[in-house]
Structure formats: structure tokens, C-alpha cells
Amino acid sequence: NAGVTQTPKFRILKIGQSMTLQCTQDMNHNYMYWYRQDPGMGLKLIYYSVGAGITDKGEVPNGYNVSRSTTEDFPLRLELAAPSQTSVYFCASSGLGTDTQYFGPGTRLTVL
Amino acid sequence: GEDVEQSLFLSVREGDSSVINCTYTDSSSTYLYWYKQEPGAGLQLLTYIFSNMDMKQDQRLTVLLNKKDKHLSLRIADTQTGDSAIYFCAVADSGNTPLVFGKGTRLSVIA
């Protein structure tokens, strides 16, 4: 199992550009999450999903969109990138009955 | 909502024990985690404890939970330079609910 994979690893965007951060898990987990980590801070929840077709907002959803059309994939869309979205983005997943979330390696995004 | 607080910095000498503390506000938090993050890296789950436990030991790591005071601590015995990292406390209502993280404690180990 590859676990949770994220692409790209690094990206630099210009203000106003858009992009999609990809997240895929191969553990057949129902639950998936997107967190962001700002410099010197802990992780904050952006969006999460309890299954295909179901998503819900977290603490910091503004400026982002998500979709969950399959169990495996949970892409995060940034529209009109802003410097405030410079952060490291972590995707995670968990399955029914599991005690922990499995994290991907992260995507480091800089918006200039 | 839930709030998780940690002290930001801790400095210890190699070979000493380190104790990293965490407090949380929501008594419904039943899953309590400790993660380690090295510079530029992702999150490594170190250990976790359920709220019906007082203590959990895993090799050099000991987690203590005072549920009444909503206080969690991580003790690292015989701290090594390789333990230098940021340690995050995180809590959740279950294994499938989103985690709420503290800001992290930067542990520096002096040789």
C-alpha cells in the first residue's frame, strides 16, 4: 500500500492563479481530511469528507473548494490564490474502526 | 470549539528527560495524540491514548493523562539529539473525527 499520496510536493503560484492539490489513498478509507499548516503553527482543518459525495467545512474553508467523487480521491481546489494561502497542506484519511488518521507527506505552496 | 494549548519551546540536555505538556478544553475529546515533526517533514504519529486511560508507556515515551484537569503530557526518557523536533498535541472525539491541534512545542536537545 502506498498509503496517502499528495501531488505536487511543491508549487509556487502567482496571486490570482488557481490550482488543484491532489490527494489519493489506497486503503479504502471512508474519511478524508485536508489540513493546512502555517509557519510556526499547528494544523487547521480546511474541509473533510465522510464518504464519496459528502463533504463538510472545517475551521478555515474560505478560498477553497473540495469534491469527493470517489472513495480514493479528495482534491482541494484553490481559486484566485492569495498570499494568505501560503502554507503546507496535508491530506489525511481514516477508516471505520481505526484509531488514527494517516497523513500524506504534504504539499508546500507559496503564493507570490 | 475545542482549544488545545502547548508551551512553545523546551530545551533539555542530552540524556535528560523531556516533558511536554498540553491542555485541552473539550471534555468530549476521547482520543489524544502526540505527533512529531522534523524540519521540512510531514507528521509522524508517536503515540496516542484514550480518555479512559491514565497512562501509556511505549519504550522511551510515557503519556500521562489527567482527565479531570484536561491535561496531557509526553515524557521522553534519555532524550537524544535526534529527538529535536516540534511535538504536536492533537485531540479528537473519535478516530474518525477531525483532529484539533495545538501550535506545537519545539524541543531542542543540547549535546
Check if A2 contacts B (Cβ < 8 Å). no
β-partners of residue B57 are: B62
Residue B62 has pLDDT above 90, yes or no: yes
The strand pairing partners of B90, in sequence order, are B33, B101
**What does the pLDDT read at residue A105?**
94
pLDDT of residue A39: 86
- pLDDT tens across A41-94, in order? 899 999 999 999 999 999 999 999 999 999 999 999 999 999 999 999 999 999
Mean pLDDT of B8-28: 96
Across A29-66, b (16+ Cβ under 10 Å) vs e yields bbbbbbbbbeeeebbbbbbbbeebeebeebebeeebeb
- Of A96, A100, A104, which is closest to B45 when you measure between CB atoms? A100
Identify which of A104, A107, A88 has the alpha carbon closest to the alpha carbon of residue A26.
A104
How far are the Cα atoms of A72, A102, B17, B91, B96 from residue A92, in angstroms, in the given order?
A: 11, 5, 31, 15, 11
What's the pLDDT tens digit per position in B75-96?
A: 999 999 999 999 999 999 988 9
Interface contact A94-B95, CB threshold 8 A? yes
Question: For position A1, what pLDDT does the model report?
Answer: 76
Residue B111, all three cell numbers: 549535546
Instruction: Please report which confidence band the pLDDT of residue A14 belongs to, taking 50, 70 and 90 as the band edges.
Output: very high
What are the residues whose beta carbons fall under 8 Å from the beta carbon of B27, sequence distance 6 or more? B67, B70
Check CB contact of A52 with chain B, cutoff 8 Å: no
Residue B1: closest C-alpha in chain A: A59
Average pLDDT along chain B: 95
Contact A98 B43 (CB under 8 A): no
* The predicted structure's pLDDT at residue A101: 93
Q: Mind spelling out the 3-state secondary structure of A42-73? A: CEEEEEEEEECCEEEECCCCCCEEECCCCCCE
Q: Indicate yes or no: CB of B4 within 8 angstroms of CB of A103.
A: no
Instruction: Look at chain A and count its residues.
Output: 112
Determine the distance from the C-alpha atom of residue A36 to the mean position of all C-alpha atoms in its chain, rounded to a whole number. 8
Is the Cα torsion angle A64, A31, B22, B73 positive or negative in sign?
negative
For residue A43, the chain B residues in CB contact (below 8 A) are 43, 88, 90, 99, 101
Res B90: pLDDT:
97
pLDDT band for position A2 (cuts 50, 70, 90): confident
Shortest alpha-carbon distance between residue B14 and chain A (Å): 24
Nearest alpha-carbon partner for A7 in A57, A51, A61, A73 = A73
Q: What is the pLDDT, as a whole number, of residue A98?
A: 84
pLDDT score of B74: 98
Q: Is the pLDDT of residue A35 over 90?
A: yes
**Residues of B in Cβ contact (< 8 Å) with A99:** 31, 48, 95
Task: Report d(CA A5, CA A24) in Å as an integer.
Answer: 5
Pairing assessment for the beta strands B9-13 and B31-37 based on DSSP bridges = unpaired
Which tens digit of pLDDT belongs to each residue from B71-80?
Answer: 999 999 999 9
Express as a percent the part of chain A with pLDDT over 90: 90
